[in-house]
Amino acid sequence: MSYKDVKKILSKLTFEQQNFLNNQKYEARLSIKDWIIFLQDLAILDTFGDKVRQRYKVYWIVSIVFFIITLIFIPVITAFVVLPVLFLISFSYFIRIFLILKKKNLSNHLRLQVFPFLAAIKDDLNEKEKVNMHLNFSNPTDKSNLTRTIPNSSKRYPKTTTYFYTLPYFNASFTMQDGTEVNIENEDIIRKRSITKRSASGKIKSKEKYKIKHKFDLKIAFPKTRYQYLGTHPELYTELPDFHQFSLKTKQISLQLEVILPAESVLALFAAAYKNVKPL
């Protein structure tokens, strides 16, 4: 697995896939089969890209260590003339590749949650059934996701400004083979606290703390012609003229932006919903 492998995948992406990669947002109405085809190469690209970026980070560290060692043990003229040039060339190359891969990176939500979820439910949908889906993998703390700011109110240190962001990264709606209607709303609510402190020596230091609420909301409506409500969990149940509807939610709190609500947690809600009904 190398940068050449990543370039090979990039060269095969369609215009729509490239557009999604560049904008980090995509909305469409496609069949489940077409969604999987559309996202599969992007998921593979993200996997390869993450691994190659990690490898280049190691290369950076090794090149820096090697440069320091050679400065100590190799003759002065060679060390201070040739090696700095070689080091700058190699280091610049590593940075260039890393930045290219970072620019083409998609959120891990795709390969850790969205794609595994679609792969798990594909057999429960007709092949040509259209799935409405909106994906937003933009930077969680991008200005476009900012919903509220609490400015610092203290004249003394520490000074704290709090920002709130909402990222609805995965929304979908579709109908399953048995006529069950599904609506999914998946979002991260991020609180970022920017804290500035002053030490006893007068030195100013700043840091950021995060708290993320990962939310997954599922509305699933079973057709009355095919399912009977068992009377369980009435707090989740809404009777509609033609459907037994259930509203289920799950959430997870984390302190790091990299944490992803796994596909297993999402699929567990589906399993919980089906326990409230039985086929006729």
Question: Quick one: pLDDT at residue 84?
Answer: 64
Percentage above 90 pLDDT, the chain: 53
The residues that bridge with 216 in the sheet, in sequence order, are: 186, 250
CA 19 to chain centroid, in Å, comes to 17
134 and 92 in a common domain? no
User: Helices 32-73 and 3-12: crossing angle, nearest 10°?
Assistant: 150
Top pLDDT among 55 and 158 is at: 158
Distance, CA of 8 to CA of 144 (rounded, Å): 32
Select from 82, 106, 130 the last residue of a domain.
106
Q: Does residue 112 fall inside a structural domain? A: no
Give the span between the Cα atoms of 135 and 38, in whole angstroms: 13
Residue pair 17/34 in contact (Cβ under 8 Å)? The answer is: no
Residue 1 CA to residue 54 CA, distance in Å, equals: 12
User: What pTM did the predictor assign?
Assistant: 0.81
The verdict on 84 and 191 lying in the same domain is no
Confidence band of 230 (pLDDT split at 50, 70, 90): very high
**For residue 176, what are the domain limits?**
120-279
Residue bearing the bigger pLDDT, 66 or 216 = 216
Per-residue pLDDT band at 266 (split at 50, 70, 90): confident
Task: Find, among 226, 253, 263, the residue nearest to 108 by Cα.
Answer: 263
49-69 in b/e burial notation, b at 16+ Cβ within 10 A? beebbeebeeeeeebeeebee
Q: Band of the pLDDT at 31, cuts 50, 70, 90?
A: very high
Please indicate, yes or no, whether residues 102 and 124 belong to a single structural domain of this protein.
no
Closest residue by Cα to residue 101 from 47, 62, 52: 52
Same structural domain, 199 and 245:
yes
Pick the more confident residue, 179 or 80. 179
Q: What is the mean pLDDT of residues 112-139?
A: 91
- Domain end, chosen from 106, 131, 159, is at 106
**Residue 133 and residue 89 share a domain:** no
Write out pLDDT tens, residues 161-206.
999 999 999 999 999 999 999 999 999 999 999 999 988 888 888 9
Number of compact structural domains in the chain: 2
Question: Residue 42 pLDDT more than 70?
Answer: yes
What's the number of CA atoms in the CB half-sphere (13 Å) around residue 35?
Answer: 31
84-112 mean pLDDT: 70
Which of 106, 134, 153 terminates a domain? The answer is 106
One domain for residues 260 and 165 = yes
Same domain, 149 and 254: yes
> How far is the C-alpha of 243 from the C-alpha of 179, rounded, in Å?
10
Least-confidence region, from 89-93, 132-136, 140-144, 193-197:
89-93
User: Same structural domain for residues 78 and 130?
Assistant: no
Predicted confidence (pLDDT) at residue 5 exceeds the cutoff of 60: yes
Are residue 67 and residue 132 in the same domain, yes or no?
Answer: no
For residues 80 and 164, which has the higher predicted lDDT (pLDDT)? Answer: 164
Residue 63 has pLDDT above 70, yes or no: no
